[in-house]
C-alpha cells in the first residue's frame, strides 16, 4: 500500500474519511488561533448620551436618535494593542474624541456615520 504521510491512498473511502477529519481539525485549530488573537469584546450597556470613556476590548451599542453626541476613547492599560467595536443602533452619527495621551493617526475628532465601526489601537495611535 502506498502512503503519503498518514494518508492511505489505495482505499478511497478511508482517504475520504481521513481528509474530512483533517479538514475539521484544521478548522477547529485555526478558529482557536484566531480567538486567541482577539479576545471577546465586552458589551457595554446601551449608550444614549455623550461622555463616557471607552477603550479596547469593548463593544459599544450606541443610540444617537436623540441627536449626535460625543464619546471619548483612552489608551488601554500598558498600551496593549486591541480593538474597540462601535455599533450605531439608531440615529445619524457619533463623534469620538481621544483623551490625551490617546490620539488618532490623523484626526482630532472622528465622526462615525456608518452602522458599525471598528477602531484599532496599535500601541500608540487609534485607527478608524
* Domain chopping of the chain, boundaries: 3-37, 42-127
CA distance 110 to 104: 8
Question: pLDDT of 51-78, one tens digit each?
Answer: 888 888 888 888 888 888 888 888 888 8
Question: pLDDT of 110-122, one tens digit each?
Answer: 777 777 888 888 8
Superfamily, domain 42-127: gp9 (2.60.120.640)
Q: pTM for this structure?
A: 0.61
Is residue 68 within 8 Å of 88, Cβ to Cβ?
no
Write down the residue that cell numbers 500608540 correspond to.
Answer: 124
- In sequence order, the 6+-apart residues with CB closer than 8 A to the CB of 38 are 82, 83
Cell of 46: 446601551
| pLDDT greater than 70 at residue 2 | no
Amino acid at each position: 500500500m502506498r502512503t503519503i504521510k498518514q494518508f492511505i491512498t489505495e482505499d478511497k473511502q478511508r482517504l475520504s474519511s481521513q481528509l474530512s477529519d483533517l479538514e475539521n481539525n484544521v478548522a477547529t485549530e485555526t478558529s482557536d488561533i484566531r480567538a486567541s488573537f482577539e479576545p471577546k469584546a465586552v458589551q457595554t450597556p446601551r449608550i444614549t448620551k455623550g461622555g463616557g470613556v471607552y477603550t479596547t476590548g469593548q463593544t459599544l451599542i450606541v443610540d444617537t436618535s436623540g441627536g449626535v453626541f460625543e464619546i471619548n476613547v483612552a489608551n488601554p492599560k500598558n498600551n496593549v494593542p486591541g480593538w474597540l467595536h462601535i455599533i450605531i443602533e439608531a440615529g445619524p452619527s457619533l463623534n469620538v474624541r481621544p483623551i490625551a495621551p490617546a490620539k488618532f493617526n490623523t484626526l482630532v475628532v472622528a465622526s462615525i456615520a456608518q452602522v458599525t465601526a471598528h477602531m484599532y489601537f496599535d500601541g500608540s495611535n487609534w485607527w478608524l
